[in-house]
Amino acid sequence: MWWWTRITKANIPEEERNIFERYGENVIGNLLASGLNPATGELQAIYRSELAKQNARDWLTERSTWHQRREDRLETLEWAILIFVGGELFFDIARAVHWIS
């Protein structure tokens, strides 16, 4: 359930966090996974530094947890709507049966 998922904010310097958010999860993930030296200076600095790579991994984990929590919230909302509609249908049928009798 979504209230069980706790998002732990990674301890990342604000400058690096801004770079990660500017380029997005796909670019940062590809930077870590590909092994190819990027053309952009900001990304080269991340690529060359082990600490920056660890910060990028931590940021990707944080984002993944955030996405999971969002999905869990939507699933909880879907269940609530389903229960509400099912209950309303049950009461409508009960009312119709009572009216016919």
In a domain, 5, yes or no: no
pTM over 0.75: no
Domain containing residue 47: 14-72
In a domain, 31, yes or no: yes
What distance in Å separates the CA atoms of residue 36 and residue 26, rounded to the nearest whole number?
14
* Mean pLDDT on 86-95: 91
Q: What is the pLDDT of residue 40?
A: 87
List CB contacts of 57: < 8 A, sequence separation 6 or more.
32
CA-based angle 44:63:12, to the nearest 5? 55
In a domain, 68, yes or no: yes
pLDDT in tens, 35-69: 888 888 899 999 999 999 999 999 999 998 888 88
In a domain, 24, yes or no: yes
In a domain, 86, yes or no: no
CB 74 within 8 Å of CB 67: no
> What is the residue-averaged pLDDT of the chain?
88
What is the domain count for the chain? Answer: 1
CB 52 within 8 Å of CB 13: no
In a domain, 50, yes or no: yes
In a domain, 28, yes or no: yes
* Mean pLDDT on 73-84: 91
pLDDT higher for 99 or 29? 29
In a domain, 20, yes or no: yes
